[in-house]
């Protein structure tokens, strides 16, 4: 098992393995590592050489057979297996049953051994040179005691994708900035690290915004640039606004909107964040309907665990149909803004009233 920095180093050295496992609750980091692996390994085959499969939907043997098939449009392939059940840690909320427990354990052990043998056969032909194809497993958690984990760790590469803190987070920011073709000064780096903890999705968006602002003429993100463009704790303020809407407190909601505008937050950015928030609420509601464990919400939504917890608290106050209608209203308003029929500053108050009407109509 290696830290993600060593993974990046191996990529720069063009050192590849036949199988990878990226696990942990930082889904954004998992996806980023997949993107970087695909970009460097596949090169010109990037468009046609990558495929993603739900781990529970297909047996490992069939997956390996598919990987060994000759691609029609790509000489190299990467096959991504998302959330394979045979790599996941056991559920804590599943108490053991006395009846048939030993037989069940024996059956599971036999199944695990079969998968280890299959994976060993896939790996054994690898001679240390770049493989023709790569298998990537993604998992929110894993059981390090399993033979299949140990096999991947010994013959491939296992990278833990947990929340980044301290110098690890600083390294990630510097690397992201470098990928954007820019540099960042120490003051700007410190402000970003203090601003939103380890929310990589949010920080990535901020860095991309600064890079676009600098254009081709400037190459350093300075404290001045961050101070000028930083959206502050807009996400937290949008949560407060949506909290008021969930409580059906329109006075509080409009007061919060006025507060945001007095802070000179850009109306279009407020609208974008509010739209994104209700989209996440609908996704959260779907996860609740599907019975997904609460601990997997953060990885499924690609947000920080704290944000996932807040989304769950709000989502239970809505009906699914309400959220769908709210998003449709948001899309209509977005089209009106883009076609110049209405200003973003005007649409905000209107959309709050529209959401209030939808909530009252469904109650």
Rounded to 5 degrees, what angle do the CA atoms 239, 308, 236 make? 25
Q: Do residue 207 and residue 80 come from a single domain?
A: no
Tell me phi and psi for residue 281, to 5 degrees. -65, -40
Beta bridge partners of 53: 81
Strand partners, 22: 138, 159
Tell me if 225 is assigned to some domain.
Answer: no
Residues 97 and 140 in one domain: yes
The answer to whether residue 227 sits within a structural domain is no
Clarify whether residues 154 and 204 are in a common domain.
no
Task: Tell me if 49 sits within 8 A of 74, measured CB to CB.
Answer: yes
Whether 251 and 301 map to the same domain: the answer is: yes
321 and 239 co-located in one domain: yes
SS3 224: helix
pLDDT of residue 320: 93
The whole-number pLDDT of residue 326 equals 94
Residue with tokens 């085959």, as numbered in its chain:
45
- 3-class DSSP state for residue 278? helix
In a domain, 166, yes or no: no
In-domain check, residue 55? yes
> Closest Cα partner for 334 from 278, 286, 280, 296?
278
Residue 344 is encoded by which pair of tokens?
A: 């973003």
* Residue-range definition of the domain harbouring residue 28: 4-160
DSSP code string of 23-45: ESS-HHHHHHHHHHHHHHHHGGG
Report whether 170 contacts 189 (CB < 8 A). yes
Quick one: 274 and 152 in the same domain?
no
CATH number at residue 304: 1.20.272.10
Does one domain contain both 20 and 136? yes
Q: What's the confidence (pLDDT) of residue 283?
A: 93
Which of these, 136, 139, 160, lies nearest to 85 by C-alpha position?
A: 139
Q: Which of 149, 134, 148, 10 is nearest to 75 (CA)?
A: 134
pLDDT by residue for the chain (363 residues), tens only, comes to: 888 888 988 998 999 999 999 999 888 899 889 999 998 999 887 878 888 888 887 888 888 888 777 666 777 889 999 988 888 876 655 555 554 555 555 666 666 678 888 888 888 777 777 788 899 999 988 988 888 899 899 989 999 998 887 788 888 899 899 989 999 999 888 878 766 556 787 788 889 888 888 888 899 999 888 877 776 666 667 878 888 888 889 999 999 888 888 877 788 888 888 888 899 999 999 999 999 888 888 878 877 666 788 889 999 999 999 999 999 999 999 898 888 888 888 889 999 999 999 988 887
What kind and span of H or E run contains 21? strand 19-23
Distance separating alpha carbons of residues 199 and 302, to the nearest angstrom: 10
- Residue 16: its pLDDT value, please? 93
Q: DSSP letter at 144?
A: T
Q: Where are the alpha helices (DSSP H) in 71-125?
A: 101-123
Pair (210, 149) in one structural domain: no
Tell me whether residue 243 is in a domain. yes
User: Is residue 355 within 8 Å of residue 245, measured between CB atoms?
Assistant: yes
Say whether both 210 and 310 belong to one domain.
Answer: no
* 82 and 37 share one domain: yes
* 224 in a structural domain: no
Q: What is the pLDDT of residue 332?
A: 93
Tally of CA atoms within 13 A in the half-sphere of 103 that contains its CB: 3
SS3 65: helix
Rounded Cα distance between 50 and 279, Å, is 27
Question: Domain holding 135: CATH number?
Answer: 3.40.50.300
In 3D, which of 268, 256, 273 has the Cα closest to residue 343?
268
C-alpha 144/C-alpha 294 separation (Å) is: 22
Strand, helix or coil at 78? strand
Number of domains in the chain: 3
Q: What is the pLDDT of residue 104?
A: 56
Residue 202 domain flag: yes
Q: Are residues 358 and 324 in the same domain?
A: yes
Residue where one domain finishes, among candidates 160, 182, 207:
160
Same structural domain, 156 and 210: no
- Whole-model pTM above 0.95? no
Residue at 229 is within a domain: no
Boundary (domain end) residue, out of 134, 160, 186: 160
């Amino acid at each position: 098992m290696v830290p993600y920095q060593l993974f990046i180093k191996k990529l720069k050295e063009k050192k590849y393995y036949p199988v990878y496992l990226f696990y942990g609750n930082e889904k954004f980091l998992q996806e980023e590592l997949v993107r970087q692996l695909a970009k460097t390994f596949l090169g010109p085959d990037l468009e046609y050489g990558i495929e993603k499969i739900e781990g529970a939907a297909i047996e490992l043997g069939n997956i390996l057979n598919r990987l060994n098939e000759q691609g029609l449009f790509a000489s190299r392939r990467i096959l991504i297996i998302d959330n394979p059940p045979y790599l996941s840690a056991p559920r804590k909320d599943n108490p053991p049953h006395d009846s048939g427990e030993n037989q069940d354990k024996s059956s599971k052990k036999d199944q695990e051994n079969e998968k280890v043998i299959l994976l060993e056969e896939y790996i054994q032909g690898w001679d240390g040179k770049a493989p023709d194809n790569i298998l990537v497993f993604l998992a929110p958690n894993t059981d390090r005691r399993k033979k299949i984990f140990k096999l991947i760790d010994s013959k491939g590469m296992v990278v833990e994708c947990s929340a980044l803190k301290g110098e690890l987070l600083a390294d990630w920011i510097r690397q992201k900035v470098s990928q954007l073709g820019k540099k960042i000064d120490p003051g700007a780096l410190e402000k970003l690290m203090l601003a939103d903890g380890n929310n990589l999705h949010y920080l990535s968006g901020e860095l991309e915004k600064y890079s676009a602002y600098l254009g081709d003429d400037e190459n350093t993100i300075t404290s001045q640039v961050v101070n000028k463009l930083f959206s502050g704790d807009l996400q937290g303020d949008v949560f407060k606004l949506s909290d008021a809407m969930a409580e059906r407190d329109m006075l509080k909601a409009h007061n919060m909107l006025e507060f945001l505008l007095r802070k000179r937050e850009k109306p279009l950015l407020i609208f974008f964040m509010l739209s994104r928030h209700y989209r996440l609420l609908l996704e959260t509601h779907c996860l609740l309907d599907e019975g997904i464990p609460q601990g997997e919400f953060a990885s499924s939504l690609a947000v920080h665990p704290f944000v996932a917890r807040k989304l769950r608290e709000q989502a239970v106050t809505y009906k699914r149909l309400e959220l769908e209608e709210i998003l449709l209203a948001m899309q209509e308003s977005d089209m009106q803004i883009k076609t110049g029929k209405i200003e973003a500053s005007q649409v905000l108050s209107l959309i709050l009233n529209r959401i209030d009407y939808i909530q009252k109509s469904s109650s």
